[in-house]
Amino acid sequence: MDKSEIRKIYKQRRKNVENRAAKERAISEKLLKEIKNVKSVFIYESIGGEVGTASMIESISRFAEVCVPEVCGKDMKLLCKKGGYADKPCDVTVVPLIAFDTDLNRIGFGGGYYDRYLSRNTTRAIGIAFDEQQCDGIEPEPTDIALDMIITPTRVLEK
């Protein structure tokens, strides 16, 4: 399967996840445990069928600076929830994804925003996903950046 086919199939799988609220709570608990000692987190604001991040952002903001992406051309700026833009990468970047494999490769939306960001910045890249999004046989391209960790409701995959 090519990436466009994977995107189509796994967007639908992600959209149809059952027991979503319970699974999102489990992901959130695992993520918060992993990042409890960091000072800054760059996290996406969820849309569509993505793992919901609103409650995560609220929880993280109690102990760390939270930044969200603002797309500017082909790049992203880190917009701080407290105002202004971050002048350096955050300690952790929470990355959205459509599909992943056990080698920590991901398929995103195809714009390359996170791959470009991760290739230029030192940050711990953590993907959050439902188990239903696991896809064996992802063929990474030279510009694809593997994640440091992927958190699902049932497991934490690491390098």
What pLDDT does 29 receive?
98
| pLDDT range class, residue 5, cuts 50, 70, 90 | very high
Contact (CB, 8 A) for 109 and 7: yes
What pLDDT does 137 receive?
81
The single residue listed with the structure tokens 């995103």 is: 108
- Rounded to a whole number of angstroms, the CA Rg of the chain reads 15
**pLDDT over 90 for what percent of the chain?**
93
Mean pLDDT of 3-23: 95
Q: For the whole model, what pTM was predicted? A: 0.95
Assess whether pLDDT exceeds 90 at residue 142.
yes
Mean pLDDT of the chain: 96
Assess whether pLDDT exceeds 90 at residue 159.
no
pLDDT (tens digit per residue) in 46-71: 998 999 999 999 999 999 999 999 99
Helical (H) or strand (E) element with 150? strand 149-151
Rounded-to-integer distance, Cα 16 and Cα 134, Å: 14
